[in-house]
Structure 1
Amino acid sequence: MPDSAPAPGGPPPPYPPAPWTFRGRLWVALLPVRGRLPVPPDLRPLACASLLAVGLVRYREGTLVYDELAMGPLVRRGRRAGLLIDRIWVDDATSVRGGREIWGLPKRLASFSWTDRSVHVTDHEGPIASLAFTPGRLRLPALPMPLPGFSGPAGRRLFVPGRLVGSPRFERVAVTSWSERLPPLERTTARISLAVRPFRMTVPGPVRC
């Protein structure tokens, strides 16, 4: 289904206003890439510019129910720091429209095929990525965590001060397939990876920065 027309033959789906609240499961991985990731001139790389942050989320309860794959470099602007979300796919047309119009996110439609320990993500252009998870034993107590991100183009940059509460655990994340449309990887295992499952999340409206 073309992501430019989430609802062929009908009006675009309405979307709820911010904040959006959720419960679900989350995986985060830092993958080394070849070379340096491009960063817009109004932002600065945070730490290593050769690490791609990848977030995989299953929103199972809350404002909407959908799956999401997001990625981009870690950046900062002044005292604010977070993920610059320059690629993001979801499997819900309402999330696409709300994400674009509220937060300026470049959301596109995709399908997510899950097993107990893996996911395969595909859009209308073909396969995007496949990830496999190996659960670890170490689990920390539930704690609040910031979940900040940047979106929108330079000149209309937005900051999203998301918040998360959950029990993080260390889990190995490995890439089993990777599209040529994505930044080329230096290796297919994450340098750092963890899961937060379950979580409670709040995504407020963005702040102009």
Structure 2
Amino acid sequence: MPGPVPDSVPEDPEGTRASCPPAPWRFRGKLWAGLLPLRRPLPVPGDLRPLVSPSLLAVGLVRYREGTLRYDELAIGPLVRRGRRAGLLVDRIWVDDAVSVRGGRDIWGLPKELAEFVWTDTGGRTAVRVADRDGPLAELVLGAGRPGLPGVPLPLPGFSGSPGRRLFVPGRLRGTLRPGTLTVTSWPERLPALERTTTRLAVAVDPFRMTVPGPMRR
């Protein structure tokens, strides 16, 4: 059963017109990303193809600390491709800022929802608890190894929308790439069922500079 609804989840802007900055959005911050094995394959829409096994769930945690807006974000979905384009199909995404929700929906067609993020840093590791109005979403422990080369350019592409109205977002960032760890300590039944709670592959980028341009329609 879901836990109690957090009192501090921001007000959902659905039904309002929270103003949002136009694209591109530019940020500085840190992120962690990894692949978690699932008990059952994720469904992939017919206009897309799996990039890796559909039994792997991509999970991304981002802290946008400076730039167009400041907020935290959790996104999950399969890695997919369409022709020569590849990226994350954003199946679910939560943020703690109402303006980000409105911009995500209106500009990029992202199914952003509001949530509360509670972060704890201990001994070089970062823990985060995420909850929305239906209760707890996830608890994760994140780690980052020693930095590699600074200023590494990295693509950050993604797909949103639906078949017939598919959007492609050619995001990009530049930052310090590190080996990462991502461990799930709590995961509700309403999310895809995990086979394991530790990632097969994880990275951290800390710090980064990111640009998210307007979407491209296909």
TM-score normalised over the length of structure 1: 0.95
Give the Cα–Cα distance (whole angstroms) in 1 for the partners of residues 170 and 137 of structure 2: 27
1:81 counterpart (83, 86, 92): 86
**Structure 1 CA distance for aligned equivalents of residues 38 and 80 of structure 2:** 16
Give the aligned CA root-mean-square deviation in angstroms. Answer: 1.8
Mapped to 2, the partners of 1:21 and 1:138 lie a distance apart of 23
Q: Which moved more, 1:91-100 or 1:134-143?
A: 134-143
Q: Which of 25, 32, 36 is the equivalent residue of 2:41?
A: 36
- One of 50, 58, 76 as aligned partner of 2:63: 58
Aligned to 2:22, which of 8, 17, 26?
17
1:166 aligns with 2:172: no
| Match of residue 208 from structure 1 | 217
Paired position in structure 1 for 2:4: none
Task: Report deviation, 1:166.
Answer: 0.3
1:26 aligns with 2:42: no
Q: Alpha-carbon deviation of 1:172?
A: 1.2
On the 8 A contact 2:32/2:205 being kept in 1, the answer is yes
Where does the alignment leave 5 or more consecutive residues of structure 2 unmatched? 1-6
CA apart distance, 1:179: 1.2
1:136 corresponds to 2:133: no
8 Å contact 2:119–2:128 — kept in the other structure?
Answer: yes
- Asked if the contact 2:13–2:102 (Cα under 8 Å) also holds between the matched residues in 1, the reply is no
Runs of 4+ in structure 1 off by over 3 angstroms are: none
Q: Is 1:146 paired with 2:155?
A: yes
Q: Deviations over 1:93-124 (max 9, x none)?
A: 00000000000000000000000110000000
Give the CA deviation at 1:133.
Answer: 1.6
SS at match of 2:189: coil
Asked whether the 8 Å contact 1:6–1:12 carries over to 2, the reply is no
Q: Does 1:125 align with 2:134?
A: yes
Find the partner of 2:204 among 186, 195, 201. Answer: 195
* Alpha-carbon shift at residue 7 of structure 1 (Å): 4.7
Question: What is the alpha-carbon distance in structure 2 between the residues aligned to residue 6 and residue 35 of structure 1?
Answer: 31
Tell me the residue number matched to 1:47.
Answer: 52
Partners of 2:25 and 2:213 within 8 A in 1? yes
Residue 96 (str. 1) matches residue 105 (str. 2): no
- Residue type matched to 1:101 in 2? D
Structure 2 residue 186 is the aligned partner of structure 1 residue 181: no
The one-letter amino acid of 2:191's match is L
- 1:106 corresponds to: 111
- Rounded to whole Å, the distance in 2 between the matches of 1:42 and 1:11 is 32
* 1:84 and 1:150 in contact (8 A); partners too: yes
Separation of aligned partners in 2, 1:59 and 1:191: 25
User: Structure 2: how far apart are the matches of 1:7 and 1:193?
Assistant: 33
Q: Which residue pairs with 2:3 in the alignment?
A: none
Percentage of identical aligned residues: 68
Q: Which residue of 2 aligns with 1:6?
A: 12
